[in-house]
Amino acid sequence: MQAYRPKELVPSIHMVTVWNNKSQFEKAEDQSPLWVLFVVGSGSFRFEIGKREGIAEKGDLVLCPPDVVLKREMLRPASFLVLYFTWTADSDEIRAEEQLLPNPAGKSSIRDKYRFASTYGYIAMLGRRNDAPAAARRNFLLRDLWEQLDWEWETHRRESRPIPDDPLMQKAGATLKESAFETISLNQLAASMGLSTVQFSRRFHKMYGVNPSEYVSELRLDKARALLLENRLTLDEIAVQCGYSNGFYFSRVFSQKMRISPSEYRQAYRI
- Domain coordinates of the chain in residue numbers? 6-151, 167-269
**What whole-number distance in Å separates Cα of residue 251 and Cα of residue 76?**
29
pLDDT for 235: 94
Residues 6+ apart with CB under 8 A from 189: 172, 175, 176, 200, 212
pTM of the entire predicted model? 0.62
Residue 51: how many other CB atoms lie within 10 Å: 6
**What whole-number distance in Å separates Cα of residue 147 and Cα of residue 106?**
17
pLDDT for 172: 92
User: Which CATH architecture best describes the domain 167-269?
Assistant: Orthogonal Bundle (1.10)
Of the candidates 227, 238, 243, 240, the residue with the CA atom closest to the CA atom of residue 176 = 243
Structure confidence by residue, pLDDT tens digits, 162-200: 556 788 998 999 999 999 998 889 999 999 999 999 999
pLDDT band at residue 260 using 50, 70 and 90 as cut-offs: confident
228 neighbors 267 (Cβ within 8 angstroms): no
6-151 and 167-269: same fold?
no
pLDDT for 271: 58
Instruction: Compute the average pLDDT of residues 52-64.
Output: 95
What percentage of the chain reaches a pLDDT higher than 70?
95
pLDDT for 152: 84
**What whole-number distance in Å separates Cα of residue 246 and Cα of residue 238?**
9
Which one of 2.60.120.10, 3.90.25.10, 3.40.50.1970, 2.115.10.20 gives the CATH number of domain 6-151? 2.60.120.10
59 neighbors 40 (Cβ within 8 angstroms): yes
Cross-strand pairs, 82: 17, 38
SS3 143: helix
**What whole-number distance in Å separates Cα of residue 212 and Cα of residue 18?**
34
